[in-house]
Structure 1
């Protein structure tokens, strides 16, 4: 039999041991390797000293990052960021997406070790799994964990925010409210390219201090404001565009329908609700990221999951929306633009 026709275990083994590459990246972000290299190349010894690597591990670790196409190494042994790592993994750049990786490292990596328990019990496996206390209320009591979580949400939203800001037609829109928008990555991206629009984030009160730091760092004081509240129990602020990004996947079906109905009722005629999530393709075969993220919601929430585009479209129509435009974004995410 030709070698090319042999069935080998290599793909299975690569998948099963994929956590090794994942943790190598997560540790590099935690140690600040890419931020250290943002100012220029370093030789191995200097870089190891700067980020605190032990001599036994430093060469293998840095060369592993080279093999993963996150760093390059010159013939003289100088390490440099790849263009993508320099753009997205330098903490000092507004394009930094490492917040979600920091959160994955600090929280999710350990929780996924209990996936089997979650699959058997249907219950969360996170830090509040057995406390019976609300997730957000519990997490917000730990300042470091809370900041890590919010920066993580901002990290995963940053590239999506740019895609939404470029894709949606903002002509004639005056005020955007991001419902559960964390630090405000989406409105920040919209405001930077649409000077006539103002925006707000509607969030729980403990979010505000970290939100204000983000707004100041982006030069948006006065244009991007904070509206404190709970979108389940409080009236929604007035707007002609609402955003629910990575919100519906946190909640069960009844809660999703409630939120969509509240948005429809609060919007003026001609107003639009933008919903985006890592929606599963309707055949449930192709969006691996969406399916993996749905398992993450099993681990990290009481009733959340990802859902298909058809599911979301049906819920939006039930709420009253008649014009619904489906738009693929990036990285396995889909947006629905639902207009009243």
Structure 2
């Protein structure tokens, strides 16, 4: 009876909400890009003050519209109305979108605004061709990541994005997984070393290494120093697809496997298996898609983002991970939910 009732009264609101969802997305991305939430950290301001501070030259009415959209979406709080309104952050934006806090996750949103927003306009072309739709789309001689690592500004934005999307997951993993049984850990593709920093703060007895390409090392050293962990985390450089990777009792990767095609995923997992000692473990921190492929929308959208970025990279289910782990020699797997759509897929070597 309930299904008949629903079908008897079709409602287009969900279609419009998702179909025009880029309106809301851009309102939030613009706020992050303008550092609105950083400006409002710990305080409240009227729209006129915000307009002046952000150098907005549109009408007062449109500034009210933009700020009130952020109120209606739940990102800002407001007391009063229009010219009398005072705006402030809500708990989430105060914690995660203030650039001066270590919990800032806005790096991925900045990259979304500056890069991915335009490239997602080419999703249809990506689906038709199976080819990347990012900076490398119109050139046969340039690969995005090769260009990325030659540009300090682009590299910094990308690394900040990776820390932003994984920050909460790293903090959660450091508390939910029992690292006390292990003496050594290497984070492969560790970017700025944020995961190693989170582990070091919670488990100071473990010896940690963060490993990534040479241009990333200065960013890792800077992040490590920011957490007063210089000398406690080793920074090593290399290409995890071409070079030997560090051996440790735990080898971790955050958002690495999903950027690769299946054959390369298997090659890398086998490389990890060979580098682990007996009873070692492999931890992959990703937006692991639910096995029914019906709930983790963000994970599946991230997989489409890998089409945009890499062409043949894709996100995966836990069943996929368990099969690859078994095929490469691991004997046991488990899944630990982290924050939001993310999980830690773990494989044990015995």
What's the TM-score, normalizing by structure 2? 0.93
**Distance in 2, Cα, partners of 1:66 & 1:5:** 33
Match of 1:30 among 20, 33, 36: 33
Alignment of 1:1-340 (within 5 A): 6-56=9-59, 57-75=62-80, 76-132=84-140, 133-340=142-349
Deviation of 1:47 after TM superposition, in Å, equals 1.5
In the TM superposition, what whole-angstrom CA distance separates every residue of 1:198-226 from its partner, at most 9, and x where no partner exists? 21211011111222221121211111221
Counterpart Cα distance in 2 of 1:14 and 1:140: 37
Relative distance call for 1:252 and 1:43 in structure 2 (3 A) is same
Distance 1:3 1:170, change over 3 A: closer
Structure 2 distance, partners of 1:305, 1:66, is: 35
Equivalent residues of 2:130, 2:312 under 8 A apart? no
TM-aligned CA deviation for residue 143 of structure 1: 2.2
* Per-residue Cα deviation, 1:44-95 (whole angstroms, up to 9, x for no partner): 1112211222241322111111111111111352111001100000000001
Aligned-partner Cα distance in 1 for 2:90–2:68: 13
CA distance in 2, matches of 1:39, 1:280: 36
Matched residues in 1 for 2:268 and 2:224: separation?
Answer: 26
Change (3 A) 1:2 1:176: closer
The answer to whether the Cα contact below 8 Å between 2:174 and 2:198 also exists between their aligned partners in 1 is yes
| Matched-pair contact (CA < 8 Å) for 2:281–2:347 | yes
Task: Write the distance in 2 (CA, Å) between the matches of 1:62 and 1:4.
Answer: 36
When normalised by structure 1's length, the TM-score is 0.96
Q: CA deviation at 1:2?
A: 8.7
Contact 1:164 1:186 in 2 (8 A): no
8 Å CA contact retained: 2:126, 2:311:
no
List per-residue Cα deviations over 1:18-53 (Å, max 9, x = no partner). Answer: 000001000000000000001411111112211222
CA distance in 1, matches of 2:41, 2:272: 42
Aligned residues: 340
RMSD (CA atoms): 1.7
Q: Provide structure 1 residue ranges, at least 5 long, that are not aligned to the other structure.
A: none
The 1:127/1:3 distance shift into structure 2, 3 A limit, reads closer
Inter-partner Cα distance in structure 2 for 1:119 and 1:260: 27
Distance, in Å, in 2 between the alignment partners of 1:235 and 1:149 is: 24
1:72 partner SS: strand
Alignment partners' CA distance in 2, 1:206 and 1:2: 59
